[in-house]
Every structure is written in C-alpha cells, then in structure tokens.
Amino acid sequence: MKNLMDKYPRVLDLLPKAKKRLPHFASEYLFSGTGYDLAIKNNTEILKNIFLTPKYVQGVVEPKLKVNLFGDIYDAPFGVAPVGLTGLIWPRAEKYLAKMSVKNNIPFALSTVACASIEDTAKHLDGRGWFQLYPPDDKSIRNDLLKRAKSSNYKVLVVTADIPASSRRERLRLAGVSVPPKNNLRTFYHAAIRPSWSFQTLTNGLPKFGTMDQYMDGNWHGTKKVKAGFAGSQMKRFLDWDYLKEVKDIWKGPVVLKGVMHSDDAVKASRIIDCIYLSNHGGRQLDLAPSPIQILPEVRKSLKKDFPIIIDSGFYSGQDMCKAIMLGANFVMTGRPFFIGIAALGEIGAQHVHDIIKDEIQNVMEQVCCKDIKSLPKEKLSINNNYYLKDLN
Ligand SMILES: Cc1cc2nc3c(=O)[nH]c(=O)nc-3n(C[C@H](O)[C@H](O)[C@H](O)COP(=O)(O)O)c2cc1C
C-alpha cells in the first residue's frame, strides 16, 4: 500500500478527498472569500510569480529550520492560524491541531470563536498555546477572556484588527450558512450525503462557541446578551491604539497584532506590541485587499531589522513559505491547509499537512544550498519577478 506521502505529496492533493467528505455548507464556510473572491484568488496567484534563484557549490548543507520567536524556539517557521467555528468544518479539530502543534513544536493559535473553549483546548497545549482575541467592546468580557487565557497558560496573545465591518460573505448566504447552523431540510440533506462528517458531528454535538458561550446566555455578571453574530455585535469593530495599549498592559506577555496591511499601522503598532502579523484574513474581509506578500517588502523596510513579522493568507506549501521568509517575514501561519488535511484524513491529516510543509521547506533549502532559515532572506536567494516588487532593492 502507498504511504501517505506518496499518496498525498502536496497539500492540494488532499483537496478532492476533503471536498468529498465536507457538506456543501461546511466547504463553503472554509473555502469562501468575500465579494467576488478577488483577494482570495490574488493571494495564491501572486505567489506563483515569485521565484528563487539558487546558488550552488556550498559544501555540506543540513538546513536548520528552527526559529526563535519571543524567546521560544520553534522547530519550523510555520504555525496554525486561528480559525473560528472550527467544529462546523470538522468536529474536534482544535484538539487535533493542539496535539499536533505540541508534538511538532510549532504554534497553534486558538480563535476566540472556536468551538472548543480556552480551557478545554489548553489541556492539549502543554502551556504553549497562542490565544487569538477578537477584541470585545465590553471591557469586562475582554478582561475576563485575558484572565482565562493567562490562567490556562497561553503564552502569546494575537489581537485581530481587521474586522471594522463584518464581511458580506456572499457565498455563505448562497450556501445557507448561518450561526448557529439552521436545522432545515437543506442542511439535513447536505449533511446526510456526507456520512463521515455527520457521524463525527453527531458524536461530538452541534458546533457551539466554547469560549464565548458563557457571555451569550445573558447571565454573565448581568451583561447584556451577546448576539451570536459576533463580528457585528459584541466584538470591537473600531479598534484604537489606546485599547491596544490596555491589552498589552493587562496581558504582560508577547502581543501580536493580526490583520495589519499598511506600513503606517505597522510602525505605530511596533511601538506598542511585540510583533506585526500581516494578513488579509485569507481573503475573507476586504475583497480589495492586496496579498500581504505584496506589502511585505515595504513593511519590512519600515520596521527595525529585528522586529518580528508574521504573515498569512494563501500559503499552501513550503515553497510559498520560503518566498515569504525570503521577502522578510520571520514566520508564516496558515489556516485552510490544516483544515483540508483534517477534513480529508481526520486527526492524522493535521500531522500529514505539517509533514508535507516541513519537508517542502527543507527541500527548498537543500536545493538552494541554504544552511539556516535565518539566512534565507539575505545570503542565498534572489527573486525573478518584475511587476510588483519595486520596493525590493
Ligand atoms: C474558516 C475560517 C475562519 C477564520 N476565523 C478566524 C478567526 O476566528 N479569527 C481570526 O483572527 N482569523 C480567522 N480566520 C483567518 C485566519 O486566521 C487566517 O488569517 C487565514 O485563514 C489565512 O489564510 P489561508 O487560509 O489562506 O492560510 C479564519 C479563516 C478561515 C478560513
């Protein structure tokens, strides 16, 4: 029998199987962008136009992939981006991803609106988790979330900035996706023709917001009821620098600002927090947004040389990730690829996606004779691309 790597040597080789096992509404939830899907398509298209020029004759090359972020050493320069309503995609996904991240010493960021709670997921994280905060308007809820994450030993806080409006999610409307999911004939039909998903969902229970649910029942310290449509209601739509400073003071640990897309914001944020996370939310928020990789060189130039930059949106392979690191990112996160793996293969799918990406990075580095991931940007490579990387000299 073929081993997994021979059967699925690239993340996208898992896609047909994932699509076959996901109900239509779950698949649309995972794979849709917003508007006309321009940003999501551009995210992957733009990466195809970046090439690396190898230098050879470097003697023995045993590439080092380890990266130091906030004083912690990770075994590879990539991690799992925060994804909400995870259980709609695949039940227990947070548990699978948390375990995989600890086993392989890479970060996993738990979303505020994931289905498993801060506390339940922490049981699998060995004190190494990252927590993503959709900043609540109600500061008492915010402070409680931070307290819960801290006392559950999460290390790094990721504050998401890019939801000044909830996106229109046209494809989700068409697919009839709602939060919570509707119990109607259409949903039942789509679930019924995907038996693995339905079986897992029946044994795990319907998706819920594990962390946020307690604030939604109207009983939490007498606060008013939080609507399930979180992005448009309770979450802080208009984040400001003072709020961010307060979060940094309360957290007393590394804070990352996610969703930064402009070098002005990057420079301002770098005076308050510890790391910039370039992202267009995987093309799910502003359909007009460029790919973060298009603004990466400019942002890199505008920040101090050693100020860390994380990037995501459209990175489906180790090759893609090498390109981001080459252009000045310190670390790459990825969202959909891990869920493609889980949807296709269950728990081992998370591990397999990790193995594919790590293997690809290692191979690129060997191919270009690069001994250490840290030297990828400056020493070994150049770029063949002439239409958008004007800032790269
Ligand atoms: C289904 C789905 C749900 C997401 N939920 C969140 C979330 O709760 N919080 C957040 O900060 N980002 C969220 N994101 C954005 C991801 O963190 C990440 O920025 C994006 O997936 C990167 O693009 P990629 O999927 O092409 O790797 C979500 C993305 C997807 C696909």
Ligand 1 atom nearest 31 alpha carbon: 31
Most ligand 1 atoms within 8 A of CB, residue of 29, 284, 338 to mutate: 284
For the record, the structure tokens of 284 come out as 């799910």
| CB within 8 Å of 100: residues ≥ 6 apart | 108, 347, 350, 351, 354
Q: How far apart are CA 226 and CA 239, in angstroms?
A: 18
* Mean pLDDT calculated for residue range 73-98: 96
- What percent of the chain clears pLDDT 90, i.e. is strictly above it? 70
Q: How far apart are CA 35 and CA 304, in angstroms?
A: 35
Ligand 1 atom nearest 162 alpha carbon: 11
Ligand 1 atom nearest 40 alpha carbon: 26
Residue 250: is its pLDDT beyond 90? yes
Residue-level pLDDT at 233? 55
| CB within 8 Å of 147: residues ≥ 6 apart | none
Is 336's C-beta closer than 6 angstroms to any atom of ligand 1? yes
pLDDT, tens digit (0-9, with 9 covering 90-100), for 276-306: 999 999 999 999 999 999 999 999 999 999 9
Scan for tokens 């809820």, then name that residue: 141
Q: How many contiguous H segments (helices) and E segments (strands) does the chain have? A: 18, 10
Report in angstroms the alpha-carbon separations of 381 from 56, 331, 360, 385: 11, 17, 17, 13
Q: Which residue lies with its CA nearest to atom 30 of ligand 1? A: 83
Ligand 1 atom nearest 280 alpha carbon: 19
Ligand 1 atom nearest 336 alpha carbon: 25
Scan for tokens 């931070």, then name that residue: 146
Look over the chain and give the mean of its residue pLDDT values, rounded to a whole number. 89
Residue-level pLDDT at 231? 41
| CB within 8 Å of 349: residues ≥ 6 apart | 14, 96, 338, 340, 341, 342, 343
Domains of the chain with CATH codes: 4-373 (3.20.20.70)
Name the residue with higher pLDDT: 223 or 314.
314
Q: Which residues of 126-156 are buried (b: 16+ CB within 10 A; e: fewer)?
A: eebbbbbbbbbebeebbebbbebbbebebbb
Write down the pTM of the prediction: 0.93
Q: Which residue lies with its CA nearest to atom 15 of ligand 1? A: 281
Name the residue with higher pLDDT: 189 or 58.
58
Is 27's C-beta closer than 6 angstroms to any atom of ligand 1? no
pLDDT, tens digit (0-9, with 9 covering 90-100), for 192-202: 778 788 778 87
CB 299, CB 269: distance < 8 Å: no
The β-bridge partners of 22 are none
Residue 257: is its pLDDT beyond 60? yes
Ligand 1: centre distance to CA 82 (Å): 6
Ligand 1: centre distance to CA 84 (Å): 7
What phi and psi, each to the nearest 5 degrees, are found at residue 44? -90, -35
Is 124's C-beta closer than 6 angstroms to any atom of ligand 1? no
* Beta sheet of 275-278, edge-to-edge order: 78-80, 331-334, 309-311, 275-278, 255-260, 156-160, 130-133, 109-110
Residue 186: is its pLDDT beyond 80? no
Ligand 1 atom nearest 111 alpha carbon: 8
pLDDT, tens digit (0-9, with 9 covering 90-100), for 196-220: 887 788 788 777 888 998 887 655 5
- What percent of the chain clears pLDDT 70, i.e. is strictly above it? 89
Is 210's C-beta closer than 6 angstroms to any atom of ligand 1? no
Residue 382: is its pLDDT beyond 70? no
| CB within 8 Å of 197: residues ≥ 6 apart | 21, 22, 23, 26, 90, 191
| CB within 8 Å of 252: residues ≥ 6 apart | 150
pLDDT, tens digit (0-9, with 9 covering 90-100), for 146-168: 999 999 999 999 999 999 888 88
Ligand 1: centre distance to CA 288 (Å): 17
How do 109-110 and 78-80 pair as beta strands? unpaired
